[in-house]
Amino acid sequence: MHRKRTVWICIVFMVASVFVYSQETVRIKDIAYIQGVRENQLIGFGIVTGLAGKGDSDSSVLLKKILSNLLSGFGITIPPKDIKSKNSAAVMVTADIPPFIRPGDRIPVTLSSIGDAKSLEGGVLLQTNLKAANDKVYAVAQGKIAYTDLGKSVQTVGYIPGGAIVEREAVSSISDNNYVSIILYQSDFATAWEVAQEVQQVFPDTPVSAEDASMIRVEIPENFRGNHVGFIAGIENITVVPDTSAKVVINPRTGIVVMGKDVKIGKVAVSYKGDRISVGTGFGFGEEPKEQFVLEELTTVDQLVEVMQEIGMKTDAIIEVLKAIEKAGALYGRIIIM
């Protein structure tokens, strides 16, 4: 005897929970930032010593010249060809300098070998200038490497938390002719419009305009002209309901499938080892299936995946089904393969 099951209770529950989820609000500061408030990248070239024979080999011409130049600064003259040491390594030093940093603050640094060193573990970075893109020195790094990527095959990358001291201010400009611009992390016209409307409600006498899908421009009110911090703090704490695009993100290597709440499935039929899933009533297979699961038309990907898991489909098979549904034009959204 053939069986036919209709998953109506599950659908009602899922639709209800999606509705509740869609009403959740977030602060503007969690989905956007103020233009001008940004990090900057720093880079430098340095030497790591004390590597106990795991540093660059004797054949490293670069290391020999660096050590010869370094020693000459201390009044010691040794030709590069006479330097033989495997205890040092040439490295690139990188760091991100956050906005509003002040001289004396410390930032973490990352070191990566550019020679043939086997490991940077236990080494000490000698004083290294870190420059920005404008070729100005913003920080100086030095110190013992705290840890490397142990447990992996790569041990030629090291880290020093707080390894650099900031020497120059990196203060960001947060206003432009008494205007501030809110930049969304994820560009979306609906979300940009929502943010503009909510800011306008909080500051009704302030000109607010959504310039495009990512930028909302706000004029600083007269009474906040001397208090930009207070005005921006007020904007960042305004809550909005961001819109989301319909996406399904798939990582075939790990089997991870991440579904947006708005991804819908149109009228489609799926067959897997004799089990059948029909999305949309009245859409049959032409023959009586061994077992059939009927879902409403325009159900969500989440509901479809739940049913496929119920009939025992493996993750890799579910991924292939979702990709096939998209190719059939029945998935109302985008599939992104990582």
Q: For residue 206, what is the domain's CATH number? A: 3.30.1360
Q: Are residues 268 and 233 in the same domain?
A: no
At 332, the amino acid letter reads Y
Q: Are residues 57 and 149 in the same domain?
A: yes
Q: How far is CA 234 from CA 16, 32, 195, 310, in A?
A: 33, 14, 13, 48
- Nearest CA to 203 out of 189, 187, 224, 182 is that of 224
Give pLDDT, residue 275: 63
DSSP state, residue 132:
-
Please, which pLDDT band fits residue 15 given cuts at 50, 70 and 90? very low
Q: C-alpha 202: how far from its chain's center?
A: 30
- Per residue in 176-231, pLDDT (tens digit) is 788 999 999 989 999 999 999 999 999 998 999 999 999 999 999 988 888 888 99
Give pLDDT, residue 295: 66
Q: Are residues 314 and 222 in the same domain?
A: no
Domain end position, chosen among 240, 255, 288:
240
Q: What is the mean pLDDT of the chain?
A: 81
Strand partners for 216: 182, 210
H or E element at residue 166: strand 157-166
Please, which pLDDT band fits residue 126 given cuts at 50, 70 and 90? very high
Give pLDDT, residue 182: 94
Residues contacting 243, CB < 8 A, separation 6+: 188, 190, 191, 194
What proportion of the chain, given as a percentage, has pLDDT over 90?
37
Burial class (CB in 10 A: 0-12, 13-18, 19+), 69: exposed
Q: Are residues 194 and 232 in the same domain?
A: yes
Count of the separate structural domains present in the chain: 3
For the residues 296-323, what does the mean pLDDT come to?
79
Please, which pLDDT band fits residue 334 given cuts at 50, 70 and 90? confident
Q: Is the pLDDT of residue 7 over 80?
A: no
Please, which pLDDT band fits residue 20 given cuts at 50, 70 and 90? very low
Q: Are residues 79 and 160 in the same domain?
A: yes
Higher-confidence position of 224 and 138: 138
Q: Is the pLDDT of residue 95 over 90?
A: yes
Q: Are residues 82 and 157 in the same domain?
A: yes
In the Cβ-directed half-sphere of 301, how many Cα atoms lie within 13 Å? 26
Q: Is the pLDDT of residue 262 over 60?
A: yes
- Per residue in 51-93, pLDDT (tens digit) is 988 988 888 888 888 888 888 888 888 887 777 778 899 999 9
Q: Is the pLDDT of residue 114 over 60?
A: yes
Domain extent at residue 55: 40-166
Q: Are residues 46 and 113 in the same domain?
A: yes
Domain end position, chosen among 146, 166, 186:
166
Give pLDDT, residue 214: 94
Can you tell me the distance from the alpha carbon of 90 to that of 119, in angstroms, rounded to the nearest whole number?
12
Tokens linked to 136: 């100005």
For the residues 94-120, what does the mean pLDDT come to?
92
Q: Are residues 262 and 233 in the same domain?
A: no
Entry field: residues in the chain: 338
Domain end position, chosen among 133, 166, 199:
166
Is the pTM of the predicted complex or chain greater than 0.75? no
Q: Are residues 231 and 249 in the same domain?
A: no
Q: Are residues 268 and 289 in the same domain?
A: yes
What proportion of the chain, given as a percentage, has pLDDT over 70?
83
Q: Are residues 49 and 121 in the same domain?
A: yes
Higher-confidence position of 2 and 161: 161
Q: Are residues 53 and 136 in the same domain?
A: yes
∠ CA 98-104-107, nearest 5°, is: 40
Give pLDDT, residue 75: 83
- Per residue in 142-155, pLDDT (tens digit) is 999 998 875 566 78
Return the SS3 of 160.
Answer: strand
Which residue's entry shows tokens 């103020």?
Answer: 34
Residues contacting 150, CB < 8 A, separation 6+: 121
For the residues 32-54, what does the mean pLDDT come to?
91
Q: How far is CA 312 from CA 1, 89, 305, 309, 319, in A?
A: 21, 54, 11, 5, 14
Please, which pLDDT band fits residue 6 given cuts at 50, 70 and 90? very low
